[in-house]
Amino acid sequence: MRNIFKRKTSPSNHAPSTAPTNPDALVQPDSPETEDGAFLRPPRKQHFATPPRILVVGAGSRGTAYARSALSATNALVVAVAEPVAYKRAEFGRKFIWGEDRGPGAYQEFEGWREWVEFEEMRRKRVAAGEKGVELEEGRVDAVFVCVLDELHEEVVCGVAGLGVHVCVEKPLSTSLESCLRMYKALKSVTGKESVFGICHVLRYSPHNMLLRQLALEKEIIGDVLSVEHVEPVGWWHFSHSYLRGNWRKESVTAPSLLTKSCHDIDFLMWLLCSPPPNAGTQPHLPSYVTSTGSRKFFRKERKPREAGDAKNCLSCPHEEDCLYSAKRIYLERHLRYGNTGWPVKIVNPEIEECYKKSGLEAASSMLLDNLKEDYTPETPVKEIESRPWFGRCVWESDNDVCDDQCVTITWDDDPLPSEDGVTVLHQRGAKTAQFHMVAFTEKICERRGRIYGTKGEIEYDSATIKVHDFSTGYTKVHKPHLAGGGHGGGDEGLVRQFLMAVNAVNCQEMSAAEAQREFLGCDLDEAFRSHAMVFAAEDARKERKVVDWKRWWDNRVEPQLHA
């Protein structure tokens, strides 16, 4: 993958071979002069001679994040938004499209993706008929970012794929294997031929993780990788916000938490252990088996504090002042009172930010508390309950059913490749294991950590630092890559930049879509789908309490539908 970090090919950065007197005490910090010093410098803003023009479908937190990333990392233009909620649509437009001083043009806002498709089809007909005008030219869109709720991804992607626009989809691709397969087939007919496909597995695109993979796979600094331990600490109150009270609390409505929260991490492990190193020219080292255990351990009625009694909502609960998960404490005391009107407060009510600016803390607090008072009763229709979040609901009385603690183990058997002299070799294709742990009950919020064990050394990483220990010298070298702004350690900006670089290369006829996909994104539709398939296989293993044979599972669950 070509990216904004210029990589050098100077000699290995292993420490000298003479072992120190006390090797565990000697740590070598990185510096801008070393061969991976490029990872210590922030990237320049990407400038395109003809800036790509972007439509964002869904003006929520992720749509906002990618629009902001596009404008901060490149000179691309966000030219339109499709969003059914008028307030969110207008706020998004003021921030990223038409500005504060004027209203939207006829081609800049749409109530939904269907309205945009209708406009785009008519625009193309008028252009083909020889019509000219500002609306026809400025209404043109090169790339679509799909940032609606997970369960709506399929209808949007399949609905716009036929237009041949470049498409980047927020993770996960969709909420079921069958839906992902339908999207795969719709995208396969156009991507790689005329359009670029991106999946927002943004962990691949942070400076930290790009350096980590370079050290482990390209430089092979610890030899062959034998196993990986990787942890996603979700964060105790973050889990309550998104997976107990928020949109992703119920598997039957959205999907398992392993998919909605941790498909990032499964993809990260597949990227490290399944995908071949850059320019290796080899097939992926496919997994052999997967198993998983997990459950809703804590957030269920049996764990409810006795002091809370029959209360269903925090604002009517006698235990609220002493409860760790008090919605009032989390949203008001921990965030709004400190002036934070963004996430997570803004998710409770998108209008709180404007209320705070215009009317102050007291008015915003009153608005927030009114939202937290909202609750359902036994008489409320299930469909209504499931259609929205309930941010004041007791975490032990919610209708949630997703795992709050889950482990996944993926194993690979030997998969040797023949060498030129006919002798098989196991180089980076020997047996190995990945262990993943998603856990809700953590201080850190999504700051991943882990260890990679190799034949010559060991790598320890968190979200800021990479420590490489060399068995032969006893030295531990510390790498501290550039900590980019934005979400996911710069992964949001990195993904958007790389996707738009691919779009630009195709638009300028420098590369085919397939070439640009591999060159700039380093991930194609097949690889993105395989990562999602691994999540579904792991869920089958968890629910059926068994070890899943990957090839057999793929042959039974995937192949028949691919060719249906």
Residue 546 lies in a domain: no
In this prediction, residue 59 has a pLDDT band, given cuts at 50, 70 and 90, of: very high
> Could you identify the residue written with the tokens 């490149």?
74
The rounded distance, in Å, linking the Cα atoms of 142 and 148 is 19
Number of domains the chain is built from: 2
**Side chain identity at residue 48, one-letter code:** F
- Section 159-174 average pLDDT: 95
Q: Residue 363: give the domain boundaries.
A: 301-386
The rounded distance, in Å, linking the Cα atoms of 227 and 230 is 10
What DSSP string describes 415-429? --EE-TTS-EE-TTT
CA dihedral angle for residue 52, residue 79, residue 200, residue 429, rounded to 10 degrees: -10
Residue 69: HSE in the Cβ half-sphere, 13 Å Cα cutoff: 29
The rounded distance, in Å, linking the Cα atoms of 41 and 49 is 24
In this prediction, residue 151 has a pLDDT band, given cuts at 50, 70 and 90, of: very high
433-to-154, 226, 273, 285 alpha-carbon distances in Å: 33, 7, 9, 12
Residue 143 lies in a domain: yes
The rounded distance, in Å, linking the Cα atoms of 500 and 428 is 32
CA dihedral angle for residue 266, residue 269, residue 274, residue 276, rounded to 10 degrees: 130
Residue 519 lies in a domain: yes
Residue 545 lies in a domain: no
Residues with Cβ < 8 Å from 333, sequence gap 6 or more?
Answer: none
Residues facing residue 478 across a β-bridge: 29, 467
Domain of 147: which CATH number? 3.40.50.720
Pair type for strands 405-412 and 432-439: antiparallel
The rounded distance, in Å, linking the Cα atoms of 457 and 474 is 9
Percentage of the chain exceeding pLDDT 70: 92
Read off the tokens for 17.
């071979």
Q: What is the CA radius of gyration of the chain?
A: 25
Q: 3 vs 325, which has greater pLDDT?
A: 325
The rounded distance, in Å, linking the Cα atoms of 339 and 341 is 6
The rounded distance, in Å, linking the Cα atoms of 454 and 459 is 8
Among the candidates 367, 386, 405, a domain finishes at: 386
503-520 pLDDT, tens digit each: 999 999 999 999 999 999
| 494-516 residues labelled b (16+ CB within 10 A) or e (exposed) | bbbbbbbbbbbbbbeeebebeeb
Residue 151 lies in a domain: yes
- Section 192-196 average pLDDT: 79
Residues with Cβ < 8 Å from 523, sequence gap 6 or more?
Answer: 1, 199, 201, 204, 271, 275, 517
Does residue 112 sit in helix, strand or coil?
A: coil
Residues with Cβ < 8 Å from 212, sequence gap 6 or more?
Answer: 452, 459, 461, 466
Return the minimum-mean-pLDDT range out of 2-11, 54-63, 138-147, 388-397: 2-11
Question: What sign results for the dihedral spanned by CA atoms 296, 298, 300, 303?
Answer: positive
Does residue 163 sit in helix, strand or coil?
A: coil
Residue 229 lies in a domain: no
Residue 490 lies in a domain: no
User: Is the domain of 306 the same as that of 176?
Assistant: no
Percentage of the chain exceeding pLDDT 90: 81
The rounded distance, in Å, linking the Cα atoms of 488 and 66 is 12
In this prediction, residue 26 has a pLDDT band, given cuts at 50, 70 and 90, of: very low
User: Is the domain of 80 the same as that of 196?
Assistant: yes
- Residue 6: predicted pLDDT: 41
> Could you identify the residue written with the tokens 């002042």?
321
Is residue 58 a contact partner of residue 153, using CB atoms and an 8 Å limit?
A: no
Residue 335 lies in a domain: yes
Is residue 490 a contact partner of residue 60, using CB atoms and an 8 Å limit?
A: no
Q: Please say if the pLDDT value at position 243 is more than 90.
A: yes
User: Is the domain of 59 the same as that of 194?
Assistant: yes
In this prediction, residue 8 has a pLDDT band, given cuts at 50, 70 and 90, of: very low
Among the candidates 361, 386, 411, a domain finishes at: 386
464-505 pLDDT, tens digit each: 999 999 999 999 999 999 877 667 778 899 999 999 999 999
- Residue 265: predicted pLDDT: 97
User: Is the domain of 196 the same as that of 305?
Assistant: no
User: Is the domain of 57 the same as that of 193?
Assistant: yes
Is residue 464 a contact partner of residue 483, using CB atoms and an 8 Å limit?
A: yes
Residues with Cβ < 8 Å from 337, sequence gap 6 or more?
Answer: 361, 365
Q: In what order do the strands lie in the sheet with 166-169?
A: 109-110, 77-82, 53-57, 143-146, 166-169, 197-199
- Residue 14: predicted pLDDT: 33
User: Is the domain of 323 the same as that of 199?
Assistant: no
What DSSP string describes 175-225? SSHHHHHHHHHHHHTTBTTTB-EEE--GGGGSHHHHHHHIIIIIS-TTSSE
Among the candidates 320, 352, 386, a domain finishes at: 386
Does residue 295 sit in helix, strand or coil?
A: strand
User: Is the domain of 193 the same as that of 323?
Assistant: no
Q: Tell me which residue of 348, 340, 342 sits closest to 247, measured CA to CA.
A: 348
Q: Tell me which residue of 461, 467, 459, 454 sits closest to 427, measured CA to CA.
A: 454
Q: What is the pTM of this model?
A: 0.91
